Chain A
Amino acid sequence: MNANEFDVIIIGGGITGAGTQRDCAMRGLRTLLVERSDIATGATGRNHGLLHSGARYAVNDPESARECIEENMILRRIAAHCIDETDGLFITLPEDDLAYQARFVEACKRAGIAAEVIDPSEARRLEPSVNPELIGAVKVPDGSVDPFRLCAANMLDAKLHGGQVRLYTEVTGFIREGNTLKGIHTRHLQSGEEADFYAPVIVNACGIWGHHIAEMAGIKIGMYPAKGALLIFAHRVNNVVINRCRKPSNADILVPGDTVCVIGTTSTHIPFEECDNVAVTPDEVNLLITEGVKLAPSLSSTRILRAYAGVRPLVSADDDPTGRNISRGIVCLDHEVRDGLKGFVTITGGKLMTYRLMAEMATDLVCKKLGVDKACETAATPLPGSEESSYEAVAKKIWEAPSTAQKAMASRLGTRASRIRNNTPYDDALICECEEVSVGEINAAIEQMDVSTLTDLRRRTRIGMGTCQGEFCACRAASLLAKAHGCVEKERADLANFLNERWKGNYPISWGDTLREAEYTQWVYKHVLGL
């Protein structure tokens, strides 16, 4: 068999594609994943990072709720280093109807979600930042999940099982024989190099962009792009997820994730042309702050780090203009059955939370088509890095008295932290001081995780995600990338791109300390470094 022939090609480097590749690879298939940009650049990396308990969907969408709680429990086992078991609160405010709480708890119970009504005073004790005026609270097993880490870990495991990953590789067309897809034409977006790859099954796991990929194969999927905007605050205001106990609405979830917390979201239908470049509007920022303050009043005076937006890949079921009533359910399409096109599968809908289940469904279908009879093991096998249940356990095994930087590394890499070079003071030197990322960790990411730009590096290591937004780490990391890639000129351009990308997220909330910091960053890069 030729090097460009595979059992299955997966299009899309988000969490669904990465999860599907892992599952397929674990079942012994030869896999190729192609992604026109970097990993987790679409909806995967542009959400709350909420490890849903399913409670949010319990009343309106019991099926999604059940999927969520089941996957929630699975992810705690297999993705420990990507997950923070924070728990969550659903609070009722004086303006909300307390009667909804009973309905909500009942629906949670039916879906198998442990929902416990607690006293408002107990809620205030559990989460001191919560709006003290709350009149009701329900505790649920929410948590937070780092989507970049989760996506990278899935892809890494796929590679450890022999999978191939090609990033910055765009699908330009399908190779088709009659009513069967045989392969794909691709073009590498950085080198311009063109290549064809062949496989008997091709999986479309492109989120909202799956609409175009399907069109390219002559198939129509009625997708519904719903934009959601979010704000990142500069530190954790809360350590427990705070939700509103009411019919799901705008800006009613505040999630603590890593060193920050995120409020969101909004929901607006947007045209397909805007999916590649979604910007957060002043109205959205206003709405997020106004509603966010109702969950945790201190948000009104907490520094905001960034604003960002993602596009949910919803599949239209009706013509609801808000997109809220469409099921977040998983859509797995066998185009042979649906459209008479052989060798093509679309996996879409769903959510970050249910990526593993989506991958399992898609892989089951792929295996059926290939005549492979092997059971799915992704629900039981930990991802690489997740072999220990906590970062404390990880750090304890590696270091006698870990420093904050070492503890932070253990929290990002899990058990893989033990592989990071730290023989010399240079390896231990910090590139990113906000998130405490060392030279050793950056170099390991460059060597093992398909990094071509600083933005790619950010998704894998958190550099540039802290309060300074790349002010100090960007130039240091750029020097390591330039060294690894052997090209200083290219890296200069990359550095400028990276800083512009950081500014894009600062711009909608550019006031106060964030503006000061951005101004300072500009002095450093423009006036001192002459960029």
Chain B
Amino acid sequence: MKLQEITQSKYNFEECMKCTVCTAYCPVLQVNPLYPGPKQAGPDGERLRLKDPYFFNYALKYCLNCKRCEVACPSGVNVADLIQAARIKYEHTQPKLRDQILASTDFMGKLARPFAPIVNRVTGLGITKTALDAMLKIDRQRTFPKYSASSFEFWLRHREKEQSAFPEKVAYFHGCYVNYNYPKLGKDLVKVLNALGVGVELLEKEKCCGIAMITNGMSDKATRNAVHNVEVLRKAVVDKGLKVVTTSSTCSLTLRDEYPHLLNVDNADVRDSILVASRFIFEKLEKGATLKFRPDFHRKIAYHTPCHMEKMGWGVFSEKLLRMIPGVEFTLLDSACCGIAGTYGFKKENYAASQAIGAPLFDQIRSVNPDLVACDCETCKWQIEMSTGYPVANPISILADALETEK
């Protein structure tokens, strides 16, 4: 008789050998003693929660969802998924107004865009920050991302014809940040891909990937977005046979892994076609495509691998692309969390922890003293710019700057 050939458990929590490596790698535990740590909050806590949801611990909200515990785990336990899934299942408090505002990146973007210059000025004022701090508990020391007066979608739609002329095409999941805050990154991507002979098209109508909703107790809304997004991704991937690229490591991870793991939205038929742009570009170059770089481009660049890039194991693609640019003096920064974790660091109660987590990274950046920090994540960018004063750019933007333009 074949008994127990394999043992399985949700998020592999029973594979945990209690080795505690995850705990050693958890950035939160090192600065916040209120957090039980990934092993306690994950596989250990799960056994108690299965006995009675009463054993759920509200301190799980201190988890950054950086997934470093999962990268560290030698037994394949999905520790961070366990923690986020427990929060989704058992955290029955209504998200605060503040968390709803922070999580609604899509909605806030739409709202702010028509008044972008005013909004940007107002959110930059000391008095606004003091008021937000007092009323909403959004830490006053934070710098808010600026909104753009015109959206990326608007810009690309006016170039549909030109883009469709390219022999090869990709779909671009731009995300809220590119659309509402920083269309330049999207334009840079279009520039680089066009240089490779690839045209860029929009998805039929993407919605926010939903990561901030997941971590802020709004998983219902996140699930609705996920269902919608998988549907439009399917149209691009299955119907048109396109790859989908992103310029945000977190959007990628969410579309690929958080949807099936945390929201139970099946994406098996599209998952493998969703890539961070640097991987897509690297693979094109591997297959023989070429890019021409400006001879006068000289930059000292320090690359920070975002946590979610570490989780996907794709930091290497951005690194290789940057190293490929002649005139780049490259430093790979130590693998460390910057501490912001999306909306986490904006919250007053997390500000100190957030800055303490990022401190070693900030110190290293200062000692490297680069011209520019490179990084594939927008919230890491805000955090590093605010905390160190060094400018931060997506590797795609750096690539775009370094390109030799024919005109």
Contacts and interface: CB of A to CB of B under 8 A. Distances in A.
The answer to whether A binds B is: yes
Interface of A: 234-236, 239, 256, 258-259, 285-286, 289-290, 300-304, 391-392, 401, 403-404, 407-408, 430, 433-434, 436, 466-468, 471-472, 511-513, 516-517, 520
B18 A434 contact: yes
Given A290-B3, A434-B18, 18 more contacts: A234-B14, A235-B46, A239-B50, A259-B48, A286-B3, A289-B3, A302-B9, A303-B14, A401-B58, A403-B36, A403-B57, A403-B59, A467-B16, A467-B43, A472-B20, A512-B7, A513-B14, A513-B17
Most buried by A among B9, B14, B17, B54: B14
Interface in B13-36: 13-20, 36
B367 interface: no
A252 to B, nearest CB: 18
B97 interface: no
Interface of B: 1, 3-4, 6-9, 13-20, 36, 39-40, 43-48, 50-51, 54-59
7 closest A-B pairs (Cβ-Cβ)? A468-B18, A404-B57, A303-B14, A259-B47, A301-B8, A303-B7, A236-B50
B14 A300 contact: no
Contacts of B1: 286, 290
A342 to B, nearest CB: 50
A294 B16 CA distance: 27
Nearest to A256: B51
B3 A300 contact: yes
A404 B3 CA distance: 35
B18 A512 contact: no
A520 B3 contact: no
B48 A301 contact: no
Contact of B36 (A392, A404, A520): A404
A408 B55 CA distance: 7
A102 B48 CA distance: 37
A251 to B, nearest CB: 13
Contact of A236 (B6, B16, B44, B47): B47
Contacts of A303: 7, 9, 14
A408 B45 CA distance: 10
Contacts of A407: 48, 54-55
A422 to B, nearest CB: 15
A235 B47 contact: yes
Contacts of A236: 47, 50-51
A121 to B, nearest CB: 22
Contacts, number: 95
Given A300-B4, A513-B7, A404 B48 contact: yes
A467 B4 contact: no
A403 B33 CA distance: 12
Contacts of B39: 433
Given A401-B58, A434-B18, A511-B4, A467 B47 contact: yes
Contacts of B46: 235
A472 B18 contact: yes
A73 to B, nearest CB: 22
A59 B18 CA distance: 46
B88 to A, nearest CB: 18
Contacts of A258: 51
B47 A302 contact: no
A403 B1 CA distance: 44
Contacts of A436: 40, 44, 48
B6 A512 contact: yes
B55 A404 contact: yes
From B6, B44, B58, residue with most partner A Cβ within 10 Å: B44
A392 B52 CA distance: 11
A468 B14 CA distance: 10
Contacts of A392: 54
Contacts of B16: 467
A63 B50 CA distance: 36
Nearest to A512: B7
17 contacts: A235-B47, A256-B51, A286-B1, A301-B6, A302-B7, A302-B14, A404-B57, A407-B54, A430-B40, A434-B47, A467-B47, A468-B18, A472-B20, A513-B7, A517-B18, A520-B17, A520-B19
Given A303-B9, A512-B6, A512-B7, A404 B51 contact: no
A297 to B, nearest CB: 12
A513 B4 contact: no
Contacts of A256: 51
A259 B54 contact: no
A466 B54 contact: no
B14 A259 contact: no
Contacts of B3: 285-286, 289-290, 300
